[in-house]
């Protein structure tokens, strides 16, 4: 190599000029590459293509607590993915309340009583299942089809079918409810729980409010009367996929929860929505338990990490590998761990399963005996919601 070295040159040769040019280009490229090009930017994208939806269409865009937007004072609306839009008239005395519950379409303060509006695709599990779910929330037992008919007052306003009811709870509270099918392919639910006196005063306004729900715009379609749809008639496989659910503003579990009727001793907790699809408090003679269903994207952090997290909650040491985890045999196809703290006072059964591109977690936690008393109920819950099995 040394033989190629030449004596000092006195003027630039063509190769040297080329070399200098190459150096300049390299310098510019390096400078460009070294510069941080990350900055805030914007772009427009077409709305996602419609994903597979449940029978009767999807939720469309969520519209929690929006003030009147269509020019008519006191009127709210919920934009749908179709051109049909459901609107309703808000009584002048009611105040719109901001709510953090993603599943809620609207929340109102009706002279101290909270009135909520939600909507679910299709028949949403059926009227009977939903009424029994509500009954569970106020601590009263389930009813059958025959009793349901006498409980509901059903009227039709143009193309909207409205069923209203009032139920007195175990502690004297009264729940006013309305199940509405305006014809947009969804079932709308209006609900308020308050004391008996306030409920009596609220009911006329409440019922009138429920009857104002209607579809505006093209694309409205007639929906089947709810009474003709049995609770478990809709195949659970039609639960929306994660993509569809996300487009509908739903937790991916929500679609399947609509088909689930909780046991009578499980009271649904109000603080659900978003990641927490459902939370129940189970009362039993053994100390009770709490049940939650949550959903996280992708692997939810990983099986081992989650199991160790739960173990940590109970004061148990981490396990180094999944192969050392002892899974419980509760629901076929679902990974289940049954853990108790060293003192034997706190127990947790955690089940998790991958559905679409998310991981669903189901947990039952309470005293050892309290959890044992709810074990079968919990298994049925997981079987129905996670695996899509008929109840």
Residues from 20 through 49 that contact other proteins (CB under 8 A): 20, 22-23, 26, 29-30, 32-34, 38-47, 49
Give the number of other CB atoms < 10 A from CB of residue 276: 16
- Residues numbered 145 to 164 that lie near other proteins (CB under 8 A) are none
Candidates 118-126, 136-144, 319-327, 353-361: pick the segment binding other proteins (CB under 8 A): 353-361
The answer to whether residues 118 and 105 touch, using CB atoms and an 8 Å cutoff, is yes
Binding mask 232-271 for other proteins (x = CB under 8 A): ---------xxx-xx--xxxx------------------x
Candidates 141-149, 204-212, 315-323, 357-365: pick the segment binding other proteins (CB under 8 A): 357-365
Strand, helix or coil for residue 169: coil
**Complex with other proteins: residue 226 or 244, whichever CB lies closer:** 244
The answer to whether residues 338 and 324 touch, using CB atoms and an 8 Å cutoff, is no
**Complex with other proteins: residue 226 or 279, whichever CB lies closer:** 279
Among 89, 142, 356, 372, binds other proteins (CB under 8 A): 356
Question: CB 135 → other proteins: shortest distance, Å?
Answer: 24
- Residues numbered 286 to 345 that lie near other proteins (CB under 8 A) are 290, 292, 294-301, 305, 309, 313
**Complex with other proteins: residue 141 or 301, whichever CB lies closer:** 301
Structure token digits, residue 346: 């706190």
Among 361, 371, 379, 381, binds other proteins (CB under 8 A): 361
**Complex with other proteins: residue 124 or 278, whichever CB lies closer:** 278
- Residues numbered 54 to 113 that lie near other proteins (CB under 8 A) are 61-67, 69, 100, 102
DSSP 380: H
C-alpha 391: how far from its chain's center? 20
Question: CB 368 → other proteins: shortest distance, Å?
Answer: 16
The answer to whether residues 151 and 131 touch, using CB atoms and an 8 Å cutoff, is yes
Question: In angstroms, rounded to a whole number, what is the distance separating the alpha carbons of residues 34 and 86?
Answer: 53
Binding mask 162-201 for other proteins (x = CB under 8 A): ----------------------------------------
Question: CB 274 → other proteins: shortest distance, Å?
Answer: 3
* Residue 18 touches other proteins, criterion: CB under 8 A: yes
Among 363, 377, 379, 386, binds other proteins (CB under 8 A): 363
Among 130, 273, 339, 374, binds other proteins (CB under 8 A): 273
- Residues numbered 120 to 149 that lie near other proteins (CB under 8 A) are none
Candidates 212-220, 260-268, 272-280, 367-375: pick the segment binding other proteins (CB under 8 A): 272-280
Question: In angstroms, rounded to a whole number, what is the distance separating the alpha carbons of residues 33 and 30?
Answer: 5
Beta bridge partners of 353: 360
Give the number of other CB atoms < 10 A from CB of residue 266: 25
Burial 243-262 (b: 16+ CB within 10 A, else e): ebbbbbbbbbbbbbbbbbbb
Structure token digits, residue 348: 């947790």
Candidates 14-22, 119-127, 256-264, 378-386: pick the segment binding other proteins (CB under 8 A): 14-22
Which pairs from 171-177 meet CB under 8 Å and 24+ separation? Answer: 171/138, 171/139, 172/196, 173/138, 174/199, 174/200, 175/134, 175/137, 175/138, 175/199, 176/202, 176/203, 176/206, 177/131, 177/134
Question: In angstroms, rounded to a whole number, what is the distance separating the alpha carbons of residues 322 and 205?
Answer: 57
Structure token digits, residue 221: 């379609």
**Complex with other proteins: residue 20 or 233, whichever CB lies closer:** 20
Question: In angstroms, rounded to a whole number, what is the distance separating the alpha carbons of residues 364 and 343?
Answer: 18
Number of shown-chain residues binding other proteins (CB under 8 A): 83
The answer to whether residues 170 and 289 touch, using CB atoms and an 8 Å cutoff, is no
């Amino acid at each position: 190599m040394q033989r190629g070295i030449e004596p000092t040159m006195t003027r630039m040769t063509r190769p040297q000029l080329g070399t200098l040019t190459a150096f300049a280009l390299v310098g510019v490229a390096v400078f460009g590459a070294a510069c941080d090009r990350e900055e805030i930017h914007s772009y427009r994208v077409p709305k996602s293509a419609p994903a597979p939806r449940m029978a009767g269409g999807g939720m469309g865009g969520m519209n929690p607590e929006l003030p009147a937007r269509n020019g008519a004072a006191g009127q709210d609306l919920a934009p749908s993915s179709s051109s049909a839009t459901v609107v309703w008239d808000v009584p002048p005395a009611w105040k719109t309340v901001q709510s953090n519950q993603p599943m809620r379409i609207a929340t109102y303060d009706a002279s101290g009583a909270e009135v909520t509006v939600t909507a679910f695709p299709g028949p949403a599990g059926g009227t009977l299942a939903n009424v029994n779910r509500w009954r569970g929330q106020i601590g009263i037992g389930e009813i059958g089809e025959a009793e349901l008919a006498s409980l509901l007052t059903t009227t039709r306003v143009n193309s909207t079918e409205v069923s209203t009811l009032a139920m007195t709870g175990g502690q004297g509270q009264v729940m006013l409810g309305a199940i509405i099918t305006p014809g947009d392919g969804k079932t709308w639910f209006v609900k308020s729980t308050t004391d008996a006196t306030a409920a009596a005063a609220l009911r006329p306004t409440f019922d009138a409010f429920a009857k104002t729900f209607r579809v505006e715009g093209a694309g409205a379609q007639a929906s089947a009367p709810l009474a003709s749809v049995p609770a478990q008639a809709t195949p659970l496989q039609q639960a929306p996929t994660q993509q569809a659910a996300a487009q509908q503003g739903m937790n991916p579990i929500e679609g399947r929860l609509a088909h689930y009727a909780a046991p009578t001793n499980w009271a649904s907790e109000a603080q659900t929505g978003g990641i927490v699809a459902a939370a129940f408090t189970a009362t039993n003679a053994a100390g009770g338990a709490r049940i939650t269903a949550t959903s996280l994207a992708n692997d939810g952090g990983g099986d081992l990490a989650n199991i160790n997290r739960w173990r940590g909650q109970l004061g148990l040491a981490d396990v180094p590998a999944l192969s050392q985890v002892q899974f419980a045999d509760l629901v076929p196809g679902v990974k289940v761990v049954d853990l108790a703290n060293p003192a034997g006072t706190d127990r947790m059964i955690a089940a998790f399963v991958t559905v679409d591109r998310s991981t669903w977690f189901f947990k039952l936690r309470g005293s050892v005996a309290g959890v044992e008393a709810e074990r079968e109920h919990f298994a049925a819950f997981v079987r129905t919601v996670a695996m899509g099995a008929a109840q």
